[in-house]
Chains A and B, each alone.
Chain A
Amino acid sequence: MSDTTPVTSAWAGAVPRLAARGLVHRFGDTSALAGVDVDLADGESLAVMGPSGSGKSTLLHVLAGILVPTSGTVALRGLEVQALSEKERSLLRRRRYGFVFQLGQLLSELSALENVALPAMLTGASRADAQASAGQWLAALGLAGAEGRRPGELSGGQAQRVAVARALITRPEVVFADEPTGSLDQATGHDVMQVLRDATRAVGASLVVVTHDADVAAWCDRRIDVRDGRVVAPGSTTGGGAGPRPGERDAGVLPAHLGAARVADVFGAGGAR
């Protein structure tokens, strides 16, 4: 599979980056998804909210090409993801997507630096290049000095930052985050969400965050609510009941360690691709 998309750049503005239509997914007799449409624009961040069992994680898995929907389509810039083979979807996830999970996603035997470098190595970068790029990412996310630490030696917030760096090192088109702050206290959770949103924006990726926490959803541009496998309340987060605390969301202030210049350094460093 090539990295070039089947849709020319002239279309990019008109066509959503990720477009899902009529998604239905059944596990046996249960319908986890009962007809969902989702669009994700270039650089947009989308929160998917819902209680346990609402189908929000299934939606993420289907959008990310982990699960193939029972029916419906998922198109990444016109490329029909659900029509790809298992192997092609795995390659797609590795090359064009990034993932941040709740906990336990870092390989425990590798150092923070090696964990971040791994996806770059998997897409063909040499170990030296991948680790140099990984070092810049860690520094940009405030983890300078922690490169040699193992996942077990990192705090929850640090581990999630490492996970964010790992998701972004290949400069993916879409980042999927499944309860990325679920194992963190509120302050650390906000910290991680800010890093996740800002760093994702900095590489020009779109972001999908699955969460049951309205505070986390408030970090995103837009929010949809899923109940019983259907989208019940599409719209902007600013219109929702649990709105953002203005100072936190709208200021757009990067933490000092994630200043625009710093991210541009990483961006311009000629990463792993």
Chain B
Amino acid sequence: MSVNPVLALAPRLQRAGGRDSRTTTLLAVTAFAVSTALTLSVVAALLGFVARADRPTTALEREVGGFYVILAVTATILLVVPLLTLGGAAARLGVARRDARLAALRLLGATPREVVGLTLVETALQGLAGAVVGTVLYGALLPVWTQVPFQGRPFTAGELWVGVPVVLLAWLVVPLLAAVSGAVSLRRVVVSPLGVAQRAARPRLRAVRAVVVVVAMGFFMIVSGIGGMPLAAFVAFLLGGLALAFLTMNAVGPWVLGLLGRLRLRTARTPAQLLAARRLLDDPRATWRVVGGLGLASFVAGCLAVVPTMASTGGGGDQDALLTADILTGALLTLTITFLLAAVSAGIAQAASVLDRRRELSLARLAGVPAELFDEARRREVLVPLLVVSVGSALAALVMFFPLFGMAAVTAPQGLLLLVGSLTVGVALVVAATEVTRPLLHRVLADTVVRAD
């Protein structure tokens, strides 16, 4: 079978892009590696709990092993969206850099199918590289996870080894998801070869999105307030409610950000404020991709703020104490992973946005626009939405759980401390991650010899 000549270009395009191409490839592979390593770790823990519930060795494992599995499933659900977000951001980053050359290929007469194929091959290769590196990283993390005690004894490395089939599955699924994600963000190149250079305003998001969130939250609050539900039904409802809340937040987040953008555009006074407001309004979904991860993490933190309350309302006994301690440990682990994922996503998304704008940025610099303007706009475009989204999400979670736990959930000092503390750490992490793109921005700006090509 002969290889299509355009597809055969893939490895060459990968190599030919110079510094920026290497940077983006490195960033994308890193992102895929991080998400693979963390996904494997989470799956490992889930499988570990399932195995312990199947073959209990202690009284605790025999009696509440099933409950641990439910908690592990919950944590996994909470992590699915941030993991997918990171993978998607990585795929888009690769595409951002290749857009121009792919558009050129289209103009030279490559068919849409070939252009898509080329991207699929390139992004999938990055995904595969990330999956392999991520597996190694997962192996390296095992000694860390085996330090964490659950059910009175830490998992052994053997318990946390997912097995060869799961690893192979990851090596298949990660490149596949990467390719699909890349193809979706390439649509605009394929639709029109000139599409990359022409950026038009996107349609506004509709207020219907806000109605969705109110209805979903109200439904959750009413049902969770009903007593006397069978435990299984209640747990199913809780899990479903959480998953639904995530989907809802993904729908409503961009709309809220668009609203914020319109407000800030009206009040903008300095060039940096104007630029940041326009970027937010221009593509709220893009900003949501940066801050949404933390929004979801904050929602998780808001949910987890009730955990200490649950602990204090539980009865005495060693077994309960152990269970409570484990829930807190699991909660903190889930939160940490979510925050890390959100921070990496934010850094990657900002890098992609800098590379997307590289030409106009460096030309503006030539015309004397100060680098500080773009630095300030870059910071503003993340920080303000970040604070609004994270505090808003945490509050939404607290409100949702109010009927379930009453005032105790809101007033229990440990819960609130956990919430405020983790939000602060999360915001700091995301800000730190976006600062990583500062050198990239300055390198793009310093690229003075922009040929009129």
Chain A: residues with CB nearer than 8 A to chain B? 57, 61, 64, 66-67, 90-95, 97-99, 101-110, 114, 118-119, 121-122, 126-127, 150-153, 167, 178-179, 182
Known: A101-B452, A150-B200, A153-B201. A110 touches B275 (CB 8 A): yes
Contact partners of B357 in chain A: CB under 8 A:
107-108
Contact partners of B197 in chain A: CB under 8 A:
103-104, 152
Pick the interface stretch among B118-126, B167-175, B178-186, B365-373. B365-373
Q: A110-B275, A152-B198 are in contact. List 11 more A-B contacts (CB 8 A).
A: A90-B365, A99-B366, A101-B363, A108-B360, A109-B279, A118-B369, A119-B367, A122-B369, A122-B373, A127-B268, A152-B199
Asked whether, in the complex, the Cβ of B363 is within 8 Å of the Cβ of A104, the reply is yes
Interface centre among A57, A61, A110, A179 (most CB of B within 10 A): A110
5 closest A-B pairs by CB: A93-B368, A94-B368, A152-B199, A102-B452, A99-B367
Instruction: For the complex, give the distance between the alpha carbons of A239 and B86 in Å.
Output: 63
| B13 interfacial contact with A, CB 8 Å | no
| B274 interfacial contact with A, CB 8 Å | yes
Contact partners of A64 in chain B: CB under 8 A:
366
Instruction: For the complex, give the distance between the alpha carbons of A31 and B251 in Å.
Output: 57
Closest to A101 in B: B363
**A107 partner, pick from B201, B268, B269, B364, beta carbons under 8 A:** B364
Known: A109-B282, A153-B200. A61 touches B274 (CB 8 A): no
Contact partners of B368 in chain A: CB under 8 A:
90-95, 97, 99, 119, 122
Known: A107-B360, A118-B369, A152-B198. A178 touches B452 (CB 8 A): yes
Contact partners of A104 in chain B: CB under 8 A:
197, 359-360, 363
Closest to A64 in B: B366
Q: Mark B421-453, 1 if CB is under 8 A from A, else 0.
A: 000000000000000000000000000111110
Instruction: For the complex, give the distance between the alpha carbons of A66 and B445 in Å.
Output: 12
Closest to B363 in A: A105
Asked whether, in the complex, the Cβ of B274 is within 8 Å of the Cβ of A90, the reply is no
Instruction: For the complex, give the distance between the alpha carbons of A105 and B450 in Å.
Output: 11
- Shortest distance in angstroms between B193's beta carbon and chain A's nearest beta carbon? 15
Asked whether, in the complex, the Cβ of A61 is within 8 Å of the Cβ of B448, the reply is yes
Closest to A182 in B: B452
Asked whether, in the complex, the Cβ of A61 is within 8 Å of the Cβ of B449, the reply is yes
**A66 partner, pick from B199, B278, B360, B448, beta carbons under 8 A:** B448
Closest to A123 in B: B368
Chain B: residues with CB nearer than 8 A to chain A? 197-201, 268-271, 274-275, 278-279, 282, 357, 359-360, 363-370, 373, 448-452
Asked whether, in the complex, the Cβ of B448 is within 8 Å of the Cβ of A121, the reply is no
Contact partners of B200 in chain A: CB under 8 A:
150, 152-153
Closest to A210 in B: B452
Known: A61-B449, A66-B448, A108-B199. A114 touches B363 (CB 8 A): no
Instruction: For the complex, give the distance between the alpha carbons of A108 and B368 in Å.
Output: 17
Known: A109-B278, A114-B278. A127 touches B448 (CB 8 A): no
**B274 partner, pick from A91, A108, A114, beta carbons under 8 A:** A114
Contact partners of A105 in chain B: CB under 8 A:
360, 363-364, 367
Asked whether, in the complex, the Cβ of A151 is within 8 Å of the Cβ of B199, the reply is yes
Contact partners of B365 in chain A: CB under 8 A:
90
Instruction: For the complex, give the distance between the alpha carbons of A122 and B450 in Å.
Output: 23
- Shortest distance in angstroms between B96's beta carbon and chain A's nearest beta carbon? 13
6 A/B residue pairs, CB under 8 Å, sorted by A: A61-B449, A66-B366, A109-B275, A114-B274, A119-B367, A153-B201
Asked whether, in the complex, the Cβ of A94 is within 8 Å of the Cβ of B369, the reply is yes
Instruction: For the complex, give the distance between the alpha carbons of A153 and B360 in Å.
Output: 16
Instruction: For the complex, give the distance between the alpha carbons of A98 and B368 in Å.
Output: 9
Closest to A27 in B: B449
**A93 partner, pick from B275, B359, B366, B373, beta carbons under 8 A:** B366
Asked whether, in the complex, the Cβ of B370 is within 8 Å of the Cβ of A179, the reply is no
Asked whether, in the complex, the Cβ of A121 is within 8 Å of the Cβ of B452, the reply is no
Closest to A92 in B: B368
- Shortest distance in angstroms between A142's beta carbon and chain B's nearest beta carbon? 21
Closest to B451 in A: A57
Known: A93-B368, A94-B370. A150 touches B274 (CB 8 A): no
Instruction: For the complex, give the distance between the alpha carbons of A16 and B278 in Å.
Output: 42
Asked whether, in the complex, the Cβ of B452 is within 8 Å of the Cβ of A106, the reply is no
Contact partners of A57 in chain B: CB under 8 A:
451-452
Instruction: For the complex, give the distance between the alpha carbons of A64 and B448 in Å.
Output: 12
Contact partners of B367 in chain A: CB under 8 A:
93-94, 97-99, 105, 119, 167
- Shortest distance in angstroms between A143's beta carbon and chain B's nearest beta carbon? 17
Contact partners of A106 in chain B: CB under 8 A:
360
Instruction: For the complex, give the distance between the alpha carbons of A179 and B197 in Å.
Output: 18
Instruction: For the complex, give the distance between the alpha carbons of A87 and B131 in Å.
Output: 44
Asked whether, in the complex, the Cβ of A110 is within 8 Å of the Cβ of B278, the reply is yes
Contact partners of A108 in chain B: CB under 8 A:
199, 357, 360
Asked whether, in the complex, the Cβ of B452 is within 8 Å of the Cβ of A107, the reply is no
Closest to B279 in A: A109
- Shortest distance in angstroms between B267's beta carbon and chain A's nearest beta carbon? 10
**A127 partner, pick from B274, B360, B449, B452, beta carbons under 8 A:** B274
Interface centre among B365, B367, B452 (most CB of A within 10 A): B367
Closest to A130 in B: B271
Instruction: For the complex, give the distance between the alpha carbons of A61 and B360 in Å.
Output: 17
